[in-house]
Amino acid sequence: MEAPTQFHVFTDDNFHYMDESERRHSGGFDTYEAALEKARYIVEICLEEAMKPGITAGEMMEQYVMFGDDPWIMPTPEGVERFSARDYARQRCAEICG
């Protein structure tokens, strides 16, 4: 018998902020690390879509906050800091745009 999935990634749509009807299940994972990888991947795709020549980190972040996907992981293991898609996007915008 297969073990139950322990960690789930859900994705909210920043364009429809606070609208739970727009929430989708983005996968179930056996490990928190695999769920974290998926959540980060979702953010990366949104940032790639926002990329255009000359965009600044601030502009890219603004696009993400307005239109990007906001993945989150349930549950967060005890002793682990909760994943924040917004914090991860902010970090990546700075890394991508310099």
For residue 59, give the amino acid letter: E
Domain ranges across the chain: 7-97
**pTM above the 0.75 mark?**
yes
Tokens standing for residue 38: 């998926």
Residue 15 gets the label, from left (phi > 0), alpha (psi -120 to 50) or beta, of alpha
Q: What is the per-residue pLDDT for 3?
A: 59
List Cβ neighbours of 89 (8 Å cut-off, separation of 6 or more). Answer: 43, 46, 47, 61, 64, 65, 68
Q: What is the per-residue pLDDT for 1?
A: 53
Contact yes or no for 13/64 (Cβ under 8 A): no
pLDDT in tens, 51-77: 999 999 999 999 999 999 999 999 999
Size of the chain, expressed as the number of residues it contains: 98
β-strand 24-29 against 69-74: which pairing, if any?
Answer: unpaired
